[in-house]
């Protein structure tokens, strides 16, 4: 038995709604196809064998045996010829029988591989948010991601279901079914809903561990289900907040299940994990202090920009060009936040063919948000670590923020020169804010290796974290 008297815990009626294979479903609906019966994947750089698979339909996942495929080269067929890939099949331990080859090639021929359209997905998300607002006020709705969101229906249940003979659990299921139907009727998209008459955490666990497997695509986990359902989650990594590394650390403490976690000595968890350990203990017992109306806001620890390059960058000057562009992009975001950074970090990931560990470095600097200075720091870190090799991913991060007004000027600084550079930088920012980010660019932005113009046209989370919101 657990430690808690759940009658003393706060209760709310929560629906956690997840759009089934959202990006892929939107693409299917736009083409007049059934999202559940069509094999389709959304792939960036679909003309590239290293293309990134961002989303896939349920049928695509079923046929090709992948729940999460990250790259085109992970597929058992060549995306250009649609022929069976013996190399990939052998590498992944897949069968190579004539029957299986024919099966894969037949589905591969009918599989749609489409590029992402973030503007369209955002448009559909707004439509779905309007449906949510038919059932709850905006204060009762918490978007969790572009395809997921919490709805607190505590104050709405009795309005939509007036039958007093029904329990709140039954009413929550009825209203959730209505929401599912409205989403499908208005958008053609299927949704899965985790429900709880207790708290948001249990609704999320219900979605991840049961709702996706039920015919109705709904499931309810509440306080009375903690011991029978939460503790029975088969894999610890299926529990919210537990990854592979955390699981290993818990195993070292003799904790091999969620039930073990819920019934262990909380002092041991606090000693090993700190505050996070106590959160894990309470969550394993179904206790959640989060509130849809007052969502937790993490303190900003830094700003960064990372991207996977469209090809292997073999020349050092190409890598340096992208590093300078990224240093500038994050510097703009820094100035918009009215902050200066005192720490610069650089991450460089090598091509698969190099078989090298990623390059990482950082340095502490005098607080600044000057683009030129930050470019120099970024390149300095890179030069101190890089010797050779093809590069496929790059990241630039700034942290250790101070207010923009903070400044240190030595006796040896040219104050007039510094002020002149700041005025020039401010003028460039103003022009870009008014007329668009690409209005003012250096000539090297036209070079083939440059990524600044291409990425400025991307939308939302696919803008490399650096151009989001930059016109």
CA nearest 71: which of 351, 417, 454? 351
- Residue 56 to residue 38: CA distance in whole angstroms: 10
What is the pLDDT at residue 279? 92
- How many C-beta atoms surround the C-beta of residue 367 within 10 A? 17
CATH number of this structure's domain 302-462:
3.30.1490.100
Instruction: Say if CB 259 and CB 285 are below 8 A apart.
Output: no
What global pTM score does this model have?
A: 0.71
pLDDT tens-place string over residues 355-396: 888 999 999 998 888 888 999 999 999 999 998 899 989 999
Per DSSP, 22 falls in state: H
Q: How far is Cα 421 from Cα 418, in angstroms, rounded to an integer? A: 5
SS (H, E, C) 100-150: HHHHHHHHHHHCEEECCCHHHHHHHHHHHHHHHCCCCCHHHEEEEECCEEE
Query: Domain 235-289: which topology?
Result: DNA polymerase; domain 1 (1.10.150)
Q: Which pair of tokens denotes residue 411?
A: 């006796």
Mean pLDDT by 10 residues, the chain (471 residues): 78 95 95 95 73 88 72 85 89 89 94 91 94 94 91 95 95 97 96 96 95 95 95 93 92 94 92 91 90 63 84 90 89 86 93 87 90 92 92 92 66 56 65 58 60 57 43 40
Query: What is d(CA 347, CA 394) in angstroms, rounded to the nearest whole number?
Result: 6
Q: Where are the domains of the chain?
A: 22-114, 235-289, 302-462
What pLDDT, on the 0 to 100 scale, is given for residue 464? 41
Q: Cα torsion for 62, 63, 64, 67, to the nearest 10°?
A: -10
Q: Which residues are catalytic?
A: 148
Please tell me what DSSP assigns to residue 298. P
């Amino acid at each position: 038995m657990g430690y808690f008297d759940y009658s003393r815990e706060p209760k709310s009626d929560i629906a956690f709604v997840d759009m089934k294979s959202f990006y892929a479903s939107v693409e299917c609906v736009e083409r007049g196809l059934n999202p559940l019966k069509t094999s389709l994947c959304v792939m960036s750089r679909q003309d590239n064998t290293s293309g990134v698979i961002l989303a896939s339909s349920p049928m695509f996942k079923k046929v090709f045996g992948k729940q999460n495929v990250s790259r085109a080269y992970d597929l058992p067929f060549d995306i250009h010829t649609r022929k069976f890939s013996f190399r990939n099949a052998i590498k992944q331990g897949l069968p190579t029988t004539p029957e299986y080859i024919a099966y894969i090639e037949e589905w591969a021929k009918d599989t749609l591989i489409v590029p992402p359209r973030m503007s369209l997905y955002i448009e559909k998300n707004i439509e779905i948010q309007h449906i949510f607002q038919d059932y709850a006020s905006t204060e009762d709705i918490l978007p969790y991601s572009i395809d997921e969101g919490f709805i607190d229906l505590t104050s709405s249940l009795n309005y939509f279901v007036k039958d007093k003979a029904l329990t709140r659990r039954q009413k929550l299921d009825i209203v959730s079914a209505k929401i599912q139907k409205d989403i499908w009727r208005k958008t053609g998209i299927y949704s899965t809903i985790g429900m709880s008459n207790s708290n948001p955490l249990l609704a999320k666990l219900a979605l991840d561990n049961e709702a996706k497997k039920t015919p109705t695509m709904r499931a309810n986990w509440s306080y009375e289900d903690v011991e029978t359902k939460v503790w029975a989650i088969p894999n610890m990594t299926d529990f919210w907040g537990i990854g592979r590394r955390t699981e290993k650390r818990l195993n070292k403490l003799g904790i091999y299940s969620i039930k073990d976690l819920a019934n262990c000595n909380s002092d041991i968890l606090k000693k090993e994990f700190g505050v996070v350990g106590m959160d894990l203990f309470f969550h394993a017992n179904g206790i959640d202090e989060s509130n849809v109306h007052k969502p937790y806001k993490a303190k900003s620890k830094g700003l960064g920009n990372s991207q996977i390059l469209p090809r292997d960058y073999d020349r050092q000057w190409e890598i340096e060009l992208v590093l300078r562009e990224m240093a500038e992009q994050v510097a703009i975001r820094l100035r918009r936040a009215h902050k200066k950074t005192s720490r610069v970090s650089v991450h460089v990931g090598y091509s698969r063919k190099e078989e090298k560990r990623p390059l990482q470095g950082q340095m502490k600097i005098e607080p600044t948000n000057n683009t030129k200075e930050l470019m120099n720091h970024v390149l300095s870190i890179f030069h101190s670590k890089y010797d050779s090799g093809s590069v496929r991913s790059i990241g630039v991060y700034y942290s250790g923020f101070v207010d923009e007004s903070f400044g240190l000027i030595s006796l040896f600084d040219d104050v007039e020169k510094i002020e002149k550079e700041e005025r020039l930088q401010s003028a460039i920012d103003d022009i870009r804010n008014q007329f668009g980010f690409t209005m003012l660019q250096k000539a090297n932005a036209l070079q083939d290796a440059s990524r600044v113009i291409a990425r400025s046209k991307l939308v939302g989370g696919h803008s490399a974290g650096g151009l989001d919101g930059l016109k």
